[in-house]
Structure 1
Amino acid sequence: MRKPVRFVLLVLFSAPLLLSDYPFQANVKISTDAYGNVNHGESSFIVSGDTVYALCNIAERPVIPMIPFSRSVTEGDTWDLDYAFIDSTVNEIWHTDPVVGVDDSGHVHMLVQFNMYYIYHYLSRDGGITWAETTMISDSSTGGYVDKPWMVVRGNKVYVSWQEFQGSADGVRFARSDDYGRHFWRTTVDNMRTGLTALNVGNDGTIYLAYVYDGMYFRYSTDDGNSWSGYQYIDDVYYSSGVGDRAPINSLAVSPTGELFISWVDDRYGTWDILGARSPDGGQTWEGPYVLNDVTAGGQCKGWVTDEPYGKLHLFYYCTPDWPTDTLSLWSVKHQLSADFGHSLDPSIEITDTVFRGHFYDDRLDFMGDYHMILADSNYLYAVWADGRDGDMDLFFSKAPLELLNLAERGNLSVTDLRLDFVTGKNPALKLELPAGMDLVIDAYDPSGRFLENVFSGWLTRGTHIVPLRMPGPSRVVFLRVRGANTGTVKGL
């Protein structure tokens, strides 16, 4: 159930306010298009401390060679590096399907596919400013085509999966580097099938691989990819492309205790839905599939699941009320939390702070980036996606504190008797009258919806309380969001 939200306005005038659902912060546009006006496509990003690295391909990749690469050193609030990566030595215009990772030395790893011929690995030792080492991962001697690589970096190891076809080594391929990407060892995991791959590595080093062929298949390796389990057939996959989406993209999350969750896009019930299957025992047995999205009208696509250090599961997907989709469809990006790693999911909330239309480079009208992601560290859930609010497809960023996400989607107890007043004067304050003791979270936002600071978090007993407010200036517009943390309800003036 959508939580009601109201605001406390602390000055005598207001400004237009657009907000993603609490506690997601105001959307930040990543790219300044310094390299030209292009349509950003599928994206990848990684978080390392306060630094976020993000990259993507572009819809114009058949005629413009580039991978837009961006960096933030402020946890995504601002972006200080934004340029077009181009490798002219490969002699291919088509730069696509990029993935980014960070190793245990803080160095940045980038994966780029060129047309459908080569997959290259790049290493940067200066935070993505320059790229010092280049290694081809795919094997050009097989004569096959390659597509949709994925990469996971753990310590000094780099793991890569992709599909290969119409050559001498067709199938689902895997490569591993034990020396930060200088050298790669390759193998074929499944020589009978190809497909879009989802790759992840558990805390114990087990490698998990899911791939879409005529259905969803799964394998794992407990010896660093040297050998693989027999395949498990999880379920059929039903999918037809349409305006805004063109692939049954899958993703794979691993909990700290080895539970697994796979998501993919499926239209077996007549429209695009995000389906999921769960394994409680590291892939030995599977439950599902079942529909994950709580809104079933229209189309849901580009789903992605991720784990967090505290054992919860997070789901991200694009959503439109239209079916079939068309060029006028209005899209948003949603989040759902599962506190029990996929047994159940809370109602969806909005990550985007506006709806948007897709913008398409060619007449197929299906490309808004095949995949986009969410990631979590110990503090935040982060999201990067492409949307068309500014007249072309651009990358945007948002994040939400994990603690507040968990609170925002917990419980339904009403606190309608909570009373709030603003105390004016030399020492402004918020006056609260509580009918019962409760946890409260009070956050301040500027008119654009950007989070400013936490004013108060903690337990207050029944009765009247005065919470001092630090005003940032005599003419500043500030909004307060007051939330009963243990009730799942928002209350305000």
Structure 2
Amino acid sequence: MKKTLVLLAAGLFLSSALIGINLTQNVKAENFGSDIHASPGYGRKPDIALDNSDNIYLAWNAVKFAKSIDSGETFSDPLDISDGYVPSIAVDDSNNIHVAVGDKGNIYYTKSTDGGETFSDPVVISDSPGGDNPDIATFEDNVYIVWTASYLENLSLDKSIDGNGFGTDVRVNGPEDRPADPAIAIGSDETIYVAFENGLGFGDADIRVVTSTDQGSTFDPSVAIEDPDNNMYAPSIAALGTDKVYVSYWSQGINRVRCSRSTNSADSFSTPVNVSHNSGATLAGGHVGDIKVHPCGKIFVTWHDDSSGEDAVYFANSTDGGTTFGENFKVNDGSEAAYHPKIAVGSDTQTYIVWADSRDDGNLFFDKAADATWPSQVTDLQATQKTNTSVTLSWTAPGDNFDLESVSSYDIRYSTSSITESNWNDATLVSETIVIDEAGSTESINITGLDKGTDYYFALKASDEVPNTSPVSNV
């Protein structure tokens, strides 16, 4: 979509080529604001989901629901939607809200089709008693729920296709597995990935992943993530595209949150890397943290950590596909205990985290970080036409959020000497009107009023709506 905007500042440069590197940006501690009170009354083990408009939905123990339609500035009064504990919440492509919950050995399901104003009566979807720890995911309008059907023996999955009812439970794991604490993610081709603890109570515990390519009708044998000398617990899983899978978990031997990745649809996994840099990640009620991946490829992880001497919620992200993770920083304010964090990522890579807190008799609290991904750097700026007093410059329109979206504005400047980040503000601004086109299109601008016989350098930056600003273009 084309956008006509007035350039906030301009300056392009016309001569030598100084090609820069294409950088990405981590969410920083300063991107998070003050904690927001999300629930009156006691709250534990929350979960979080977003709809297509980035409205925020929360569910937590006992089971209550609240929503925010103002980016988490305020939340609705809690709505009782079911009995039970440890709910899991997801939103489908039609913005229907789905909640799975375990209660008294059964797995219940409830749904809202009106943005969380009302919910259907909970129904039992598990075929046999003993169910616990459900996790839910959607693909388009299909709903998939996985749970521990029989502790250390069997995981089950049930599904609802295109809004129809649930069917017969499908066994997820193989007979050699000893599963517990499942987590589910779905790729862009509807491949289903389920991660689980394996072997708890039967020797060393590891993390395994099973895969289904037929809407959960059958599952391949489990694939182990190797973390030698460390017991592994509390997995969380995220999927990107048709072949990328990311699993975070607690590594008991070193008390860290770690991440392993697959680039071949979970046929194999990489050597795990540390997400938490200090030895302080801990289990809290069987839960450590949560992982999400944005379509742009950024990976976001939150977890419970006491390395600072207090129970706190921490965050880190990766901009290189999970090869490394950036700075760890504390999310919650103050020194009160905070645990059970869950994370959601908005369309523009906004980060939303909810957790249980000891403040106000154990309420839920929430924090958020704005989009922290700058547009791509322009590296092909060139002069296409010149006169004694004017120049036409052209370049390929960069994208925002890893080229998924268009930029919002350009900042263009010129100078009689080379332009760099350090002298950017000294260059002359050019105020012009330009039609901003989609990423990958050719942009151009004609700059007039230049002095005859003078050599000029031109450069530009692109900004998004926050604004996050790209590095200086080639000059």
Structure 1 length-normalised TM:
0.65
> Residues 482 and 111 of structure 1: is their aligned pair in 2 closer, same or farther, counting only changes over 3 Å?
closer
Partner of 2:365: 396
Looking at structure 1, the residues matched to 226 and 428 of structure 2 have their Cα atoms a distance apart, in angstroms, of 56
- Which of 425, 432, 439 is 1:462 aligned to? 425
Structure 2 counterpart SS, 1:119: strand
Q: 1:285 to 1:129 in 2, by over 3 A?
A: same
| Equivalent of 2:272 in 284, 289, 297 | 289
- Residue type matched to 1:149 in 2? P
How far apart are 1:395 and its partner, in Å?
A: 1.3
Deviation of 1:321 (Å)? 2.3
Distance 1:178 1:191 in 2: 24
Show the 5 A alignment for 1:133-212. Answer: 133-140=121-128, 144-165=129-150, 170-180=153-163, 182-192=165-175, 193-212=178-197
Residue 203 of structure 1: how far off its partner (Å): 0.7
- Provide the alpha-carbon RMSD of the alignment: 3.1
The whole-number CA distance in structure 1 between the counterparts of 2:467 and 2:299 is 26
Q: How does 1:3-82 map to 2 (within 5 A)?
A: 21-33=29-41, 38=42, 40-48=43-51, 49-57=53-61, 66-82=62-78
1:79-121 deviations in whole A, cap 9, x for unaligned?
124233345xxxxxxx101111222322221112113x11111
1:121 touches 1:181 (CA, 8 Å); kept in 2?
Answer: no
The answer as to whether partners of 2:134 and 2:147 remain within 8 angstroms in 1 is yes
Please say if residues 82 and 122 of structure 2, whose CA atoms lie closer than 8 Å, have aligned partners that are also in contact. Answer: no
Residues 338 and 351 of structure 1, relative CA distance in 2, 3 Å threshold: same
Q: Counterparts of 1:483 and 1:290 in 2: how far apart (Å)?
A: 29
CA-to-aligned-CA distance 1:133-184 (integer Å, 9 cap, x gap): 54321113xxx411111000222211011112279xx411111111426233
What is the rounded CA distance, in whole Å, between the counterparts of 1:138 and 1:281 in structure 2? Answer: 32
- 8 Å Cα contact 1:50/1:74 also seen in 2: no
Q: Distance in 1 between matches of 2:337 and 2:362?
A: 9
Amino acid at match of 1:83: L
8 Å CA contact 1:164, 1:194 repeated in 2: no
1:185: Cα distance to partner? 3.2
1:227 is the counterpart of 2:218: yes
SS in 2 for 1:462: helix
8 Å contact kept, 2:373–2:468: no
**Amino acid of the structure 1 residue aligned with 2:96:** H
- Residues 66-105 of structure 1 correspond to what in structure 2 (within 5 A)? 66-87=62-83, 95-105=84-94
Query: 1:123–1:181: 8 Å Cα contact kept in structure 2?
Result: no
User: AA paired with 2:106?
Assistant: Y
Please show how residues 307-318 of structure 1 align to structure 2 within 5 Å. 307-318=293-304
- What amino acid is the match of 2:363? D
- When residues 50 and 172 of structure 1 are mapped into structure 2, their CA distance, relative to the original with a 3 A threshold, is closer
CA distance in 2: counterparts of 1:336 and 1:299, whole angstroms: 13
Task: Indicate conservation of the 8 Å contact 1:172/1:194, yes or no.
Answer: yes
Select the residue among 355, 375, 382 that pairs with 2:352: 382
In structure 2, the partner of 1:113 is 102
| Structure 2 letter corresponding to 1:226 | S
Per the alignment, in what secondary structure is the counterpart of residue 335 of structure 2?
coil
Shift, 1:229, TM fit: 1.3
Quick one: distance in 1 between partners of 2:257 and 2:143? 29
Deviation at 1:238, TM superposition (A): 7.6
> Over alpha carbons, which structure has the higher Rg?
2
1:25 alignment partner, SS class: coil
Q: 1:21 to 1:465 in 2, by over 3 A?
A: farther
The SS at the match of 1:22 is helix
Alignment of 1:276-425 (within 5 A): 276-296=259-279, 298-300=280-282, 302-321=288-307, 329-357=309-337, 368-369=339-340, 372-388=342-358, 390-402=359-371, 404=372
Residues 237, 384 of structure 1: alpha-carbon distance in 2 compared, 3 angstrom cutoff: farther
Greater RCO, 1 or 2 (C-alpha within 8 Å, sep 6+): 2
Structure 1 residue 306: Cα displacement: 0.7
Size of the alignment, in residue pairs?
354
Does residue 130 in structure 1 map to residue 118 in structure 2? Answer: yes
Indicate yes or no: 2:235 matched with 1:250.
yes
1:390-421 CA-to-partner distances (Å, cap 9, x unmatched) read: 2432212222223x2569xx9xxxxxxxxxxx
What 5-or-longer segments of structure 2 have no aligned partner?
1-27, 200-205, 378-408, 414-423, 430-465
CA contact (8 A) 1:158 1:181 kept: no
2:251 to 258, 266, 285: 266
| TM-score of the aligned structures, taking structure 2 as reference length | 0.67
